[in-house]
DNA sequence: TTTGTTGCAAAGGGTTTGCAGGAGA
DNA sequence: TCTCCTGCAAACCCTTTGCAACAAA
């Protein structure tokens, strides 16, 4: 479900980047994970010839710019990364196991229009972070 | 408007803390600012006998626990602090001047119930960050 | 007097940078 | 061949910690 919404492999070439094993590895790791990962976790999971940590940092930064990944600061104050496409969406994260789901719509539009009237602001952008318990953890709890 | 919603002075005593000039200074600085401040900015604005940076860090941590302040990670990846009360609310921030408004309701409840059905998650908590242009900046732009 | 707080200085740790060698195209 | 990218090591910088002196109660 979530996979079918994710574009094939982000095209490094089309984005003007060279296609290197390190970049493919990072994208693969993000692709294969169903929860946000720290930079170090991504690094540890990279195929065989483990790359340097700076390379992971540098590329994650570019991937975020391209909209292929997103950084999330958890309530533990640790930065983690998730793959995502560039459409508007939000992440719903399980507080027990860390698993995430991507949510396409947020149904906020009407509320935002109302808030604009109240506040005098023109709202151009928003970020919504959702936390809860996934089905499996609720059942197991 | 926003001021009247803010509780008098957070009671250090009632929270089991000693009343020190450093704490009062930090609270005063947060109180007087209409935008999020970095730890260093708070420190610089503290009255006369400037305290140590560690003291600012230590107290901000406690104030956040008490619900008197909130930490916000901006899109520039820098942590800033805003005063707030402990009721559920959100911050609306101007992308040009940084001024913020506190928004009491978010009108998300119905959408959240819908997302719970779609995702199978039980949503327990959410954080909504709103960005836009305030009235003044829109007029001046 | 008792105990929580502060200030200083040092340690910590995640992130960034410089630069030379290496590999895409 | 020409750049871009990577790896290593060092530098950075924000944040935390240890500890002795201090001050609120």
User: Span B1-86: which CATH code?
Assistant: 1.10.10.10
Instruction: Judge whether residue A80 has pLDDT over 80.
Output: yes
pLDDT for A89 equals 76
What is the per-residue pLDDT for B131? 86
Query: Domain coordinates of chain A in residue numbers?
Result: 1-86, 87-141
HEC readout, B80-114 = EEEECCCCCCEEEEECCCCCEEEECCCCCHHHHHH
Nucleotide nearest to A58 (CA to C1'): C16
In 3-state terms chain B splits into helix, strand, coil percentages (rounded to 5) of: 40, 25, 40
Is the domain A87-141 a CATH 3.40.50.620 member?
A: no
Report which of A51, A35, A50 is spatially closest to residue A91, judged by C-alpha positions: A35
pLDDT, position B27: 96
Residue B13 confidence (pLDDT) = 94
Residue with the larger pLDDT of the pair B133 and A3: B133
Question: What pLDDT score was predicted for residue A1?
Answer: 39
| Least confident among A24-28, A40-44, A108-112, B26-30 | A108-112
Record: contact B101-A92, CB cut-off 8 A: no
Interchain pair B125, A110: CB under 8 A: no
pLDDT of residue B3: 39
Which among A67-76, A104-113, B114-123 has the top mean pLDDT? B114-123
Please tell me the pTM assigned to this model: 0.81
Rounded Cα distance between A106 and A37, Å, is 24
Sign of CA dihedral A71, A73, A74, A79: positive
How high is the pLDDT of residue A85? 67
* Nucleotides of strand D under 7 angstroms from a protein beta carbon: 4-10, 14-18, 23-25
Max mean pLDDT range (A57-61, A80-84, A125-129): A57-61
Long-range contacts of residues B84-91, Cβ cutoff 8 Å, at least 24 apart: B84/B6, B85/B5, B85/B6, B85/B7, B90/B127, B90/B128, B90/B129, B90/B130, B91/B36, B91/B129, B91/B130
Average pLDDT per block of 10 residues along chain B, 141 residues long? 48 95 96 92 85 96 93 84 78 84 78 87 85 90 69
Distance CA A100, CA A90 (A): 10
Q: Which of A106, A128, A134 sits opposite B121 (nearest CB)?
A: A134
CA A46 to CA A76: how far, in whole Å? Answer: 24
pLDDT level of residue A3 (50, 70, 90 thresholds) = very low
Size of interface A-B (CB pairs under 8 A): 105
CATH topology of B1-86 equal to that of B87-141? no
Task: Report d(CA A124, CA B1) in Å as an integer.
Answer: 23
Residue A20 pLDDT class (50, 70, 90 cuts): very high
Q: Which one, of B2, B41, B18, B33, lies nearest residue B99 by Cα? A: B33
């Amino acid at each position: 479900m979530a996979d079918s919404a994710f574009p094939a492999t982000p095209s490094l070439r089309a984005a003007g980047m060279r296609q290197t094993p390190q970049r493919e590895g990072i994208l693969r790791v993000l692709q294969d994970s169903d929860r946000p990962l720290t930079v170090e976790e991504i690094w540890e999971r990279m195929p065989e010839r483990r790359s340097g940590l700076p390379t992971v940092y540098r590329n994650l930064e570019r991937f975020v710019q391209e909209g292929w990944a997103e950084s999330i600061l958890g309530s533990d104050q640790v930065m983690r990364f998730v793959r995502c496409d560039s459409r508007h969406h939000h992440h719903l994260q399980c507080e027990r196991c860390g698993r995430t789901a991507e949510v396409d719509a947020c149904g906020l539009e009407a509320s935002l229009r109302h808030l604009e009237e109240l506040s005098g602001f023109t709202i151009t952008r928003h970020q919504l972070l959702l936390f809860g318990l996934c089905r499996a953890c609720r059942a197991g709890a």
